[in-house]
Amino acid sequence: MALSESGLPFDAVYGPDALDGFDPATALGEPGEYPYTRGVYPSMYTGRPWTMRQYAGFGTAAESNKRYHQLLNAGQTGLSVAFDLPTQMGYDSDHILAHGEVGKVGVAIDSIDDMAILFDKIPLDQVSTSMTINSPAATLLLMYQLVGEQQGVAPSALQGTIQNDVLKEYISRGPYIFPPAASLRLTTDIFSYCKREIPKWNTISISGYHMAEAGATPAQEIAFTLANGIEYVRAAVASGMDVDDFAPRLAFFFVSRTTLLEEVAKFRAARRIWAKIMRDEFGAKNPKSMMLRFHTQTAGVQLTAQQPEVNLVRVAIQGLAAVLGGTQSLHTNSFDEAIALPTEKAARLALRTQQVLAYETDITKTVDPFAGSYVVESLTDEIETEILALIGKVEELGGAAAAIEESFQKKEIENSAYDWAIQIDKGERTVVGMNKFQIDVEEKYEPLRVNPAIEDEQKARLEKLRAERDNAEVERCLGELKRAAEGTANVLYPMKAALAARATGGEVSDALREVWGKYEAKNF
């Protein structure tokens, strides 16, 4: 019997018997209504298509700014910022641990000066910006707010998302800074700050994408992501916030694979489960608190360096799955990303893929095209059952944070990744161009490369910044930040003052490291 990616049986033929016991009124509802199986908005894409974001950022702020203008001119409707590894880890470009990594996997942002260059001539009251940043999310958000204020944009007009999902860093990625309890404190401080100061901002993008890239099955991806979401909601409620005060600004981030039918079912099941959790466990009253709104990125892990043009086909299918599953925004990977950073042409083609889906197909003409499908409704029910079973295991361990300490999620994902790799090695899983349908000679491809001189440029900028600023004022502000971190006050207010005085991101993170310490993962 064929199996789905989550290990569930896949029947060759589905008929009416697959929907025995299926109650459309309970399981589906209407689009835009509880339990949101059919989508979070009544009209979905019939009014306007999803937000088209292309994740971009490399080298210096000036280089990335140029790429953003190119993408906006090509018709992109939202920006999505990739930060380099030192920025993600809370280190400045001149830190010894940053050597060799400056500007490599994203843009180097050390201070408000860099952030101002990154968004030069981009009106922040007219674009929605997503920033893929986690442990130092508060720092980068405040830099963005300060740049908006320099442009004359009120914080209330800023729209966008910070990923701010540090729990998944302990599970699948690794760029964490502080221990889990301190990280959850920082997350809830962000919730509270944004409710008061930046009300249109999505304060967290609870992410399953990176778990999927690490090897999680679709069921594991959704289960562990929603379990993290439960942990964040509990932490916010425990801090004294009402669930309806922050839950409408929660967002999610998932992957979309080439297994189109299961991906559509996965997205539908995720919406249904989250709606029930928010209503039944947390007592949410606002319908927006129950909506699982999500961004999707096509599956980078499925791209191949062999015959890279084939990735264009993969990405088109993955993007189609995301749209049929009801995503709110989408990033389509460039075909050359298995080799290097995307070239300008490759990034443009990735955006054109979304535009073809939106404007040349008929999938935007109706809401939830798969509603009532024997196979999709059956798969939705089956994957929902599997997701709930996995969430139950996390809960038995005491919740997401406690399960992380036991390395439960990490071990489950690693086992799935191992099985996946073995299947490819044995030829049981076909990867076109890699273990089947190979060609003798691969066409030479010239990738985009980041100039290593960028590191020296960033170091020079930091030296100049520290020479020009009022260092006594910076030290005073950082002292205030540490005092807030030692107590219970919201740390974002003194953090903003420090950044406005031109403290660097690394200095802010170092101040918090002094109080909260650094997280050291257990070895198993």
What confidence tens digit (pLDDT) does each residue in 264-279 have?
Answer: 999 999 999 999 999 9
DSSP helix/strand/coil, 186? helix
What confidence tens digit (pLDDT) does each residue in 284-301 have?
Answer: 999 999 999 999 999 999
User: Does a structural domain hold residue 398?
Assistant: yes
Instruction: Average the pLDDT over 106-135 and give the result.
Output: 96
Distance CA 6, CA 219 (A): 6
What confidence tens digit (pLDDT) does each residue in 17-53 have?
Answer: 888 888 887 888 899 999 999 999 999 999 999 999 8
Residue 77 pLDDT greater than 80, yes or no: no
- Mean predicted lDDT score pLDDT of the chain: 94
User: Does a structural domain hold residue 314?
Assistant: yes
Residue 105 pLDDT greater than 90, yes or no: no
What confidence tens digit (pLDDT) does each residue in 237-263 have?
Answer: 999 999 999 999 999 999 999 999 999
Q: Which of 68, 69, 71, 72 is nearest to 57 (CA)?
A: 68
User: Does a structural domain hold residue 465?
Assistant: no
- At 71, the pLDDT band (50, 70, 90 cuts) reads confident
- 449 class by beta-carbon count within 10 Å (0-12 exposed, 13-18 middle, 19+ buried): exposed
What confidence tens digit (pLDDT) does each residue in 309-320 have?
Answer: 999 999 999 999
CA 70 to the chain's CA centroid? 23
Percent of the chain residues topping a pLDDT of 70: 99
Residue 398, sorted as left (phi over 0), alpha (psi -120 to 50) or beta, turns out to be: left
What confidence tens digit (pLDDT) does each residue in 146-188 have?
Answer: 999 999 999 999 999 999 999 999 998 888 999 999 999 999 9
| pLDDT for res 66 | 93
- At 484, the pLDDT band (50, 70, 90 cuts) reads very high
Distance CA 191, CA 198 (A): 10
| pLDDT for res 523 | 58
Dihedral sign for Cα 451, 455, 458, 459, please: negative
- Least confident interval from 13-27, 106-120, 321-335: 13-27
Distance CA 94, CA 456 (A): 8
CB atoms within 10 A of CB 317: 18
What confidence tens digit (pLDDT) does each residue in 363-372 have?
Answer: 999 999 999 9
Domain that holds residue 176: 2-425
Distance CA 316, CA 105 (A): 24
Token digits for 98? 């940053």
User: Does a structural domain hold residue 507?
Assistant: no
Output the pTM of the full model. 0.92
Residue 522 pLDDT greater than 90, yes or no: no
CA distances (Å), 239 to each of 141, 191, 489, 496, in order? 21, 11, 11, 21
User: Does a structural domain hold residue 462?
Assistant: no
Tokens 């107590």 locate to: 487
Q: What is the DSSP string of 420-475?
A: HHHHHHTTSS--BTTTBS--SSPPP---B---THHHHHHHHHHHHHHHHS-HHHHH
The residue that leads in pLDDT, 142 or 21, is 142
Distance CA 335, CA 342 (A): 8
User: Does a structural domain hold residue 330?
Assistant: yes
User: Does a structural domain hold residue 224?
Assistant: yes
User: Does a structural domain hold residue 450?
Assistant: no
CATH number for the domain harbouring residue 400: 3.20.20.240
Distance CA 438, CA 229 (A): 42
Query: Number of folded domains in the chain?
Result: 1
